[in-house]
Amino acid sequence: MTTQTRKSIFNRPEKAYVQPYLGGAILGIVLFLAFLLTGNGLGSSGATSRLDAALVDAIAPAHVDNTPYLLKMAGGDKNPLDDWIVPVFFGALFGGFTSGAFNGRLKITTTKGPNISNHTRWLMAFLGGVIFLYGARMARGCTSGQALSGGATLAAGSWVIMFAIFGGAYAVAYFVRKLWL
């Protein structure tokens, strides 16, 4: 029975992605509802540092007390995971999985440019993650927390960050074109 279900999740015919404007409009409605109901937008990078903080707090609580950035999240009796962004993070993981399951896109694979090996891609993905999240914490939010949510509320700093993200990526794109083209 279980194998049957698993098979049917993993071997569905792969459906096409939705039209970008339609996907964007639905995402916009989700973002609006988040603001309407809770006053908060969307986000995820904050959860990454909160999970980090929870881990440090569990392994080396004394280190939290010496690190101002961690202190804000995990100092004293604060639970770093007690924040709205943590359920959003896990919800997004599960939402992505569900959409993949419904549309036949659950598959262990690697998405990469045609001219690099899997190992290069893995290394670059890891490195990109390190760089991106370092920047996201510096800017106090990522493409979701700043560009999307801040963009929709017309936050001045978020619009600057949005252009900086695109600017940074376009500036470097030519030099790493081997990864993608």
Per CB under 8 A, which of residues 68..87 are in contact with other proteins?
68-70, 72, 82-87
Nearest CA-CA partner of 137 in 118, 161, 120, 121: 161
Nearest CA-CA partner of 35 in 84, 71, 81: 84
Site size toward other proteins, by CB under 8 A:
127
8 binds other proteins (CB under 8 A): no
Cβ-based nearer residue to other proteins, 3 or 170: 170
51 binds other proteins (CB under 8 A): yes
Radius of gyration in angstroms for the set of CA atoms belonging to the chain, rounded to a whole number: 19
State the sign of the Cα–Cα–Cα–Cα dihedral 93, 162, 167, 25: positive
168 binds other proteins (CB under 8 A): yes
11 binds other proteins (CB under 8 A): no
Residues 96-135 that bind other proteins (CB under 8 A): 96-100, 103, 105-113, 118, 121-122, 124-135
CA distance 158 to 171: 20
Q: Around Cβ 98, how many Cβ atoms within 10 Å?
A: 11
62 binds other proteins (CB under 8 A): no
CB of 10 to other proteins, least distance (A): 9
Length of the chain: 181
CB of 74 to other proteins, least distance (A): 10
Cβ-based nearer residue to other proteins, 2 or 170: 170
CB of 67 to other proteins, least distance (A): 6
Q: Which residues contact 65 (CB under 8 A, 6 or more apart)?
A: 71, 75
Q: Which of 13, 20, 59, 62 binds other proteins (CB under 8 A)?
A: 20
Question: Residue 144 is encoded by which pair of tokens?
Answer: 């979701």
Q: How many CA atoms lie within 13 A of 156 on its CB side?
A: 0
141 binds other proteins (CB under 8 A): yes
